[in-house]
Each structure stands twice: as C-alpha cells, then as structure tokens.
Amino acid sequence: YRDFQKRVKHYAQTGIFLAIASKNNPESVDEVFEKHDAMVLIKDDISVFEVHWESKADSIKRIADKLNIGLDALVFIDDSPKEIGEVQERLPEVSCLLVPEDIEELPWLLSRTTFFDRLSLSEEDAIRAQSARAETERTALKETVSEADFLAALDLRVDVFTAQEQHLGRITQLINKTNQFNLTTRRKTAEDVKEIFGSQNHILLGMKVADKFGEYGLVGVCILELKDKTASIETLLMSCRVLGRKAETAFLCGVAQAAQQASAKSLTGEYIPTPKNNLVKNLYKDHGFTATKDLWAYDLSEEMIAPNYVTLKLEIND
C-alpha cells in the first residue's frame, strides 16, 4: 500500500489530480491522514475529498465538477467489484481499475496502463495541483453570488499571443488530448506542429488565462491558415478547465484581431462534430459568424467585442 501511495504521489507531483471518493465518516478519514504511520500521502496531496455515505458515482460527478474537468479525464480505482460495476454502468466515460486480488500487484496497477503516459512535462502540468486548490476557491465563490457577479469578481485575464518554440510541447499536448472544446479535433504530431510554427502561411496562436485566484497557464490553441485575404481557423481548442468563464469569447476576439493584423478581410471556421464536442456546436453562430455552404464566416470589418469583465492582451509577432 505504501508503494502504491508513492506512485500516485509521484503522479500528483507531475500535475495529475488526486481525489478521494469514500463511503465513510469524514472524521475517520481525517484520522487516517493525521495519525496512521503507514501514510505516504498527506491531505494537501488530495485536490478534492468526497467523504460521506452517498453513491461513489455521485461523488465522482461532483469531483469532476469541482475540478472543472470532463468525466472522461477520470480514472477510478476501487477494491470493490460492486462499486466498479455501478460506476461503469452510470458513468461509462470514467475509466475504472479494480484493485488486484494479489495485493503485491497493486503498485504496478497504474504503470501497466497508458492513462498517464505523456511525451513531456509542461509548465501547466507542474502547477495543476495548485490550480486545483484555486478551483476549489472559485467554486466556493460561485456558490455564494450570482453568475454575473461571479464572473465580474474573477478579474479574468486572457493573453492571446503568437506561439514561441518553448510553447510547442504544450501546444502538441493540447491538440492531442482536448476533446470537448475542440472545433475540428484534428490531431497532430510534434513534427506537424513544428512545421506549422515555421510556416509563412500559418499563424500559431496560444492563449493563457489567469484570474485573481491563480494562473491556468497555456490552455488554448488556434491555428490560422492565411490565403487570399482570408484567415481560416484550421484548429481551435481550449482546455475544459476554463469552461464557464467566457474565455472562449475573448480568445475569438484575439484570433480576429490577429487575422486583421495579417491583412485578412474574412475569418472562417469549421465545426466537425464528434461524439464528445457537441459543446461547441453553436460556437461560431453564437459569436456572429454567418453560415455558408461548408463553413462559418466572419466579416473582419466588424469589431468583435470581448466581455467587459475580461482583460484581453494581444501579443502578435510580425
């Protein structure tokens, strides 16, 4: 059990969220963390606690809500086939792992999966656990005020910028793992991204988001293809961690301004539906784009306005 804790603690240090869904009394769980001499994990390693006697499936849904991530980003580990079965039935998006009968196999349970494989560790990965604690503070604020007051109180800051070489690893990561807020879901290798980065006919944009509680880091990517005074959005995606903040509106405003600076007269975009990206089905329509035969188009002679509670900063290289 200690070896298993050491392994998940390592994952936490690389930006993986740890959460507890336990059918138990909260004080009993607190006592284990505070007094059990076999504990490797400490309470600060855990981003969300759901400790009560309700369904673990309900706990998992609340964990996803509190972390502002999709259910398909969660891996549930339990030693009860009954609990695993209920979660698989009610939350099929969640990946489930049953603790092996031979407990000596437990430390290797996660390493024998590909759930947490990654090409590299980005700055955003390193600060994710800290970001989770900030998300808890945001949730607490949201529960006490109206939606409008919550957004106004966030002091949301959105930076849209031309990507530099140091951003390419994180951009590649986002392109290949983002599903919900992804207009086209076109995957790309690191070499593909590097080629686009060096292309004269493309603009590779990143978006960083921060608010008064902390930084989200680089959480948005847009690839613009330039041709005949038209800037075409080949890729537009955003991490689900910033959903519900209207950061997407500020991002589109930044994208439109970048297209204008490149002398484009029209901005076009495409929505390719997948089983997971219905969330962005009406994104272009909701932001003033006009439907054409195959695309959505925006006349860049019209100014796109960012929400008044967002500070938008644009850094575009020539």
Q: What single DSSP character describes residue 182? A: B
CA distance 61 to 50: 10
> Average pLDDT, stretch 57-75?
90
pLDDT reported for residue 13: 82
Amino acid at 310: V
Confidence of residue 21 (pLDDT cuts 50, 70, 90): very high
Whether residue 247 contacts residue 226, with contact meaning beta carbons closer than 8 Å, is answered with no
Residue 225: its pLDDT value, please? 97
* pLDDT per residue as tens digits for the range 97-130: 999 999 999 999 988 888 887 655 556 665 665 6
Of 240, 8, 211, which is closest to residue 107 (Cα–Cα)?
Answer: 8
Asked which of 112-121, 157-166, 269-278, 309-318 is least confident by mean pLDDT, the reply is 112-121
Rounded Cα gap, residues 303 and 305, in angstroms: 6
- Say how far apart CA 182 and CA 272 lie, in whole Å: 9
DSSP 3-state assignment of 48?
A: strand
Cβ–Cβ under 8 Å, residues 211 and 219:
no
Token pair, residue 100, equals 């092996």
Indicate whether 72 pLDDT > 80.
yes
- Please state, rounded to an integer, the average pLDDT across all residues of the chain: 91
Q: Which two tokens stand for residue 185?
A: 């879901």
Spatial distance between the Cα atoms of 25 and 189, rounded to a whole number of angstroms: 47
What pLDDT was estimated at residue 134? 76
pLDDT exceeds 60 at position 262 = yes
> What integer pLDDT is reported at residue 128 of this predicted model?
61
Torsion over CA of 295, 253, 212 and 152, rounded to 10 degrees?
A: -90
**For residue 25, what are the contacts with CB-CB under 8 A and spacing of at least 6?**
51
Q: How far apart are CA 171 and CA 109, in angstroms?
A: 29
Task: Return the amino acid letter for 121.
Answer: L
Would you say residue 132 has pLDDT above 80? no
Q: Name 159's Cβ contacts closer than 8 Å, sequence gap at least 6.
A: 207, 208, 209, 210, 313, 314, 315
What is the spatial distance between Cα 314 and Cα 259, in angstroms, rounded to a whole number? 12
Whether the predicted pLDDT of 20 surpasses 90: yes
